[in-house]
Chain A
Amino acid sequence: MTTYAFAAVLFTLGIAGMALLPNLLRKLLAMNVMQVAVIVFFVSLAFKDGATVPILGQGGDPQAAEFMNPLPHTLMLTAIVVSVSTTGLALGLLVRIRSRFETLNERQLLDKLR
């Protein structure tokens, strides 16, 4: 329950940051915080009491109760790298915006766009 609540705190902080911060770079960082919240949530769903990491040791017949659920781990593994790439693409857009409008402040941008 604590990890779920922690994920909820991070998610709320991220969304609030995206909506309220004026600087586009900070909005992007807030979006990353939100993505981390989703990752924390998924990985905590994979947890099982008394189970170990989903890597088979020496031999034996693996039982489902002995290992944590590998599926959320897989999904989050790709999600992390995709989030790195989307952050890179967003940074590229920010560089473009910065070089064209000379600001990353949302309000100044809106003024310059009208």
Chain B
Amino acid sequence: MGAPRHGGTRMRWLLGAAAFPALFLGLVLGMAELPEFGDPGSPASTHVSPRFIEDAAAETGAANMVTAVLADYRGYDTLGETAVIFAAGLGCLVILAAAGGRPNPPAPGMSHPFGSVILDTATRILVPVVLLFAVYVLIHGHISPGGGFQGGVLFGSGLIMMRLVWGPAHEGGTHRPDVTAFGPSLRGSLILACAGILGYAGIGLAAMAFGGEFLNYGTLPLGSDPAHVRELATLGIEAAVFLTVAGTVGVLFDTISIGMRESGVPLGSDRGPRE
């Protein structure tokens, strides 16, 4: 860090040429001690996971064991992960939008309209399909690959696609007067994300209110079959995760595009001097 201005470069590459092959060798040597690839008797496959595999469907009503583990057995962990994602969105908001001195700036898209008929038509056709597929991935997460995280990211990517082609989602924001901007503004995305994380914690607290532990959904008064109750609560959790992820993706995109417009130069053009 306190190195002289340009003297450190050669030293750094020499050091790297020695250190990183050594690191690689160490990793490979360590991996020689790991159980064979695909060994059904490896410790990872014999301790907790048999219980998940054999009992998950009967206990939680979810045929997709990954969803069962994610939203039910390890629901507390997933609450933390969701909070991390939400915090990343908030952090970006504080770094870029709030520090810019404008309390509630309108959400700009990327600054320039593309104005192409092909792009415009392709977006009109693709975006509804993407958004609908996102909701399908969320709802079908019990019985096929999918769930809140995947669906939320898909939904967010659909929103980003519209922002990129049609511009920001505020009044008069579209580049094409005949196209109405759709999708939440920055404020709307933030509200979505908040609703998601609050809903997640709320389902956990509701389970406590009915006499169970935090996030132990079995006690919720949603029916008599415990597996079915857990299935419904899992769907609620996945929907909350969906909202948080979709909202956070929107917040991240909007704040970064605000920041890029204010700094004036797109990030990609910075190459820096090469020596």
Task: Report which A residues bind B (CB closer than 8 A).
Answer: 1-5, 8-9, 11-12, 15-16, 19-20, 22-23, 25, 44-51, 53-57, 61-67, 69-74, 77-78, 80-82, 84-86, 88-89, 91-96, 98-99, 102-105, 107-108, 110-111
Contact = CB atoms under 8 A, between A and B. Distances in A.
Given A12-B24, A22-B272, A69-B49, A107 B6 contact: yes
B44 A64 contact: no
Interface string B233-275: 0000000000001001100100110011011110110111100
Interface stretch (B84-92, B178-186, B211-219): B84-92
Given A8-B24, A92-B259, 17 more contacts: A15-B23, A47-B38, A55-B66, A66-B53, A67-B65, A70-B49, A72-B44, A78-B77, A82-B85, A84-B153, A84-B249, A89-B252, A96-B95, A96-B99, A99-B264, A103-B270, A105-B272
B78 A92 contact: no
- Please name the 10 residue pairs, one residue from A and one from B, whose CB atoms are nearest each other, closest first: A99-B263, A105-B272, A85-B88, A64-B50, A88-B252, A95-B259, A92-B92, A70-B65, A49-B38, A8-B27
Contacts of B1: 110
Nearest to B274: A22
A104 B272 contact: yes
B123 interface: no
Interface of B: 1, 5-6, 12-13, 16, 20-21, 23-24, 27-28, 31, 34, 36-40, 42, 44-46, 48-50, 52-54, 56-57, 63-66, 68-70, 74, 77-78, 81, 84-85, 88-89, 91-92, 95-96, 99, 143-145, 147, 149-150, 152-153, 245, 248-249, 252, 255-256, 259-260, 262-265, 267-268, 270-273
Contacts of A99: 259, 262-264
B57 A62 contact: yes
A1 B32 CA distance: 8
B45 A64 contact: yes
B270 A81 contact: no
A40 B12 CA distance: 29
B141 to A, nearest CB: 11
B57 A89 contact: no
25 contacts: A2-B37, A4-B34, A8-B28, A8-B31, A16-B20, A20-B16, A22-B272, A23-B270, A46-B45, A49-B40, A54-B53, A54-B64, A56-B56, A56-B57, A56-B64, A62-B57, A70-B56, A88-B248, A89-B252, A96-B95, A96-B99, A102-B265, A104-B267, A105-B273, A107-B5
A50 B65 CA distance: 18
B227 to A, nearest CB: 13
A82 B149 CA distance: 10
Given A81-B81, A95-B96, A64 B31 contact: no
Given A69-B45, A107-B5, A74 B40 contact: no
Nearest to A51: B40
Given A2-B37, A5-B28, A92-B96, A55 B143 contact: yes
Contact of A98 (B20, B44, B152, B265): B265
Contacts of B36: 1
Given A12-B23, A20-B13, A104 B270 contact: yes
A35 B270 CA distance: 24
B267 A4 contact: no
Nearest to A41: B31
A11 B152 CA distance: 28
Nearest to B63: A56
A47 B181 CA distance: 45
